[in-house]
């Protein structure tokens, strides 16, 4: 286990609008507001055509082969995630969403592009006083949190 300590900072309440891409809007907002690190909560709707990554094809196989998933209809969503800057100082969201419709649910990472259906509410809890960053780690070739 690795860890760092942080303190609570500002809290932001966002309303994302129809057609906006969730991670792009949160990252842009973080850049504009000078947010270095945060925890994220999201609730609302994901539009048809949204993309998730629902796992690697092989549990332990390398290189990783993502399993893309496209939502065929509008889904209700609940998402949780984090935001940390990478080595270049760019804010990066890592959020997973549970997307449900009728009796079925799919859960995955939103990095491929989840599109807002009408409205999506996001609460950003800023974390201050941490040096945590996202750094590319091999052999996974993912930008992983380095607390």
Torsion (CA) 17, 120, 81, 14 in degrees, nearest 10: 60
pTM for this model (two decimals): 0.96
- Return phi, psi of residue 141, to 5°: 60, 40
Per-residue confidence band for 83, with pLDDT thresholds at 50, 70 and 90: very high
Joined tokens for residue 56: 């690697």
- Predicted confidence at residue 55, as pLDDT, reads 95
pLDDT digits (tens, 9 = 90+) for 39-53: 999 999 999 999 999
pLDDT digits (tens, 9 = 90+) for 64-75: 999 999 999 999
């Amino acid at each position: 286990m690795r860890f760092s300590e942080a303190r609570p900072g500002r809290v932001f309440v966002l309303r994302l609008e129809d057609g906006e891409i969730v991670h792009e809007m949160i990252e842009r907002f973080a850049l504009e507001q000078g947010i270095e690190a945060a925890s994220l909560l999201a609730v609302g709707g994901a539009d048809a055509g949204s993309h998730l990554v629902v796992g690697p094809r092989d549990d332990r196989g390398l290189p990783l082969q993502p399993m893309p998933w496209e939502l065929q209809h509008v889904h209700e969503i609940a998402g949780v995630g984090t935001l940390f800057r990478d080595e270049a100082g760019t804010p990066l969201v890592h959020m997973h969403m549970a997307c449900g419709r009728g009796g079925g649910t799919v859960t995955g990472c939103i990095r491929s592009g989840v599109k807002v259906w009408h409205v999506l509410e996001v609460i950003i809890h800023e974390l201050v006083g941490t040096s945590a960053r996202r750094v590319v780690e091999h052999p996974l070739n993912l930008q992983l949190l380095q607390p």
